[in-house]
Structure 1
């Protein structure tokens, strides 16, 4: 006599959902780790912020929009440009592990006063956001930003983080990276930016659409002067 094979018990819906979710999370982790690891050596062909800007321009039917982005290697960026963004955005860059908790606390206290919101993001966090994510202040976005920041700090040396940041940061409407900013605003290469020019570019980083390097306001001028003073006080940063 033939014995009937025991039937495989049906998987419940909660079990299926758990397996699907587990596979999704595992796939996300593998994909993101592989992407960050590859970008340790390869220049990013484009970033999420660039894609969003292009999509918004298409939706608004902007015929004047052009994406200006050109990668330049570490040695093709002036020391002044490297020093300027550190002085302006993250003076503890070489000391922290991706998060400046003192700056985050100060920003949180400032924001409780109801004044203009201030961020406490490091260059590592800004690189993670600009490269992989989207604008916003939701807990999900901040959680993803923290995740990618940890990955970047684990996989890349500080010099690589700074190199990528300078190449993908927005310096104006459709202007991404220090190479295109140097060409458009000063008619020179990123390697030849001087102290004041680099400080002017760094001065617009908080909001490069409102703050314009091409037509600097009095506020941008004051911020530029402050950044120059900070650069001189910090001295040789080893970059």
Structure 2
């Protein structure tokens, strides 16, 4: 009886793991119509008895401007072309900081954020981190770096109900994402750590300072030329 139960559990586990890999493979080519983060926001609002609507329009890789691609890499994950989903140096630095400080510093790469936003929930737990690592591994194996950044820019939250770069550009600056000016791109990247409390259209002093820092980092990385490294990292 115990052996049969164990076999059933193992088969179920294997099936779930295989299904997750197939889903990641499918999304290499198919744009996800919704993200887990969007569903979570909708569910929380419904349970709280609040109305909720979201905006999102997919912008394909060629339509996403280089200035926004670079701004997000500079702000969120400067080692993005070089790692395989996990920035070990950043993780060690975050662990050291968190031991000696009341503030919590994260070390999630863009790939990890894609895994979380697309497939998982946002609360902190070891189980979620384990699943995040699993999905990150397969995203890095099966997607190109360009695809990872494309999905990230179309899934990131940029305000209440505002998901993806196209919706963010329209909401904050009344312009299509293809027409974003450099400063607008830097400011959008600057609000990403706290998109529900920071505004790109009405940036605080701290947000404006972070946007200036991002612009400096973009220049130090080499500007849009840096994006060429994404092509040499993975091939489609």
| TM bucket, shorter chain | over 0.9
CA deviations on 1:27-77 (whole Å, 9 max, x unpaired) are 1112111110110011001011100000111122223x3111111100111
User: 5 Å matches for 1:18-167?
Assistant: 18-63=6-51, 65-167=52-154
Query: Once the 2 structures are TM-superposed, how far is the Cα of residue 17 of structure 1 from its aligned partner?
Result: 1.9
Unpaired segments ≥5 residues, structure 2: 229-236
Indicate if the aligned counterparts of 1:127 and 1:165 stay in contact, CA closer than 8 A: yes
**C-alpha distance in 1 between matches for 2:204 and 2:49:** 29
**C-alpha distance in 2 between matches for 1:23 and 1:177:** 37
**C-alpha distance in 2 between matches for 1:96 and 1:129:** 18
Q: Which has the larger radius of gyration?
A: 1
Q: Aligned to 1:191, which of 170, 178, 183? A: 178
User: 5 Å matches for 1:173-188?
Assistant: 173-188=160-175
- Any idea what SS the aligned residue of 2:32 has? coil
CA deviations on 1:70-115 (whole Å, 9 max, x unpaired) are 1110011100010000000000000001100000111111111223
Q: Aligned to 1:237, which of 214, 223, 226? A: 226
Q: CA RMSD in A?
A: 1.0
Query: Once the 2 structures are TM-superposed, how far is the Cα of residue 21 of structure 1 from its aligned partner?
Result: 1.0
CA deviations on 1:206-229 (whole Å, 9 max, x unpaired) are 111112223211111111111011
**C-alpha distance in 2 between matches for 1:117 and 1:41:** 35
Indicate if the aligned counterparts of 2:187 and 2:207 stay in contact, CA closer than 8 A: yes
Report the TM-score when normalising by structure 1. Answer: 0.92
Indicate if the aligned counterparts of 2:70 and 2:227 stay in contact, CA closer than 8 A: no
Aligned length: 226
What is the aligned partner in structure 1 of residue 231 from structure 2?
A: none
- Any idea what SS the aligned residue of 2:226 has? coil
Query: Once the 2 structures are TM-superposed, how far is the Cα of residue 187 of structure 1 from its aligned partner?
Result: 1.2
Q: Aligned to 1:225, which of 212, 223, 228? A: 212
**C-alpha distance in 2 between matches for 1:80 and 1:130:** 23
Moved more, 109-118 or 154-163: 109-118
- Any idea what SS the aligned residue of 2:158 has? strand
- Any idea what SS the aligned residue of 1:207 has? coil
What is the aligned partner in structure 1 of residue 233 from structure 2?
A: none
**C-alpha distance in 1 between matches for 2:12 and 2:159:** 37
1:17 aligns with 2:25: no
Query: Once the 2 structures are TM-superposed, how far is the Cα of residue 139 of structure 1 from its aligned partner?
Result: 1.2
**Which protein has the bigger helix share?**
2
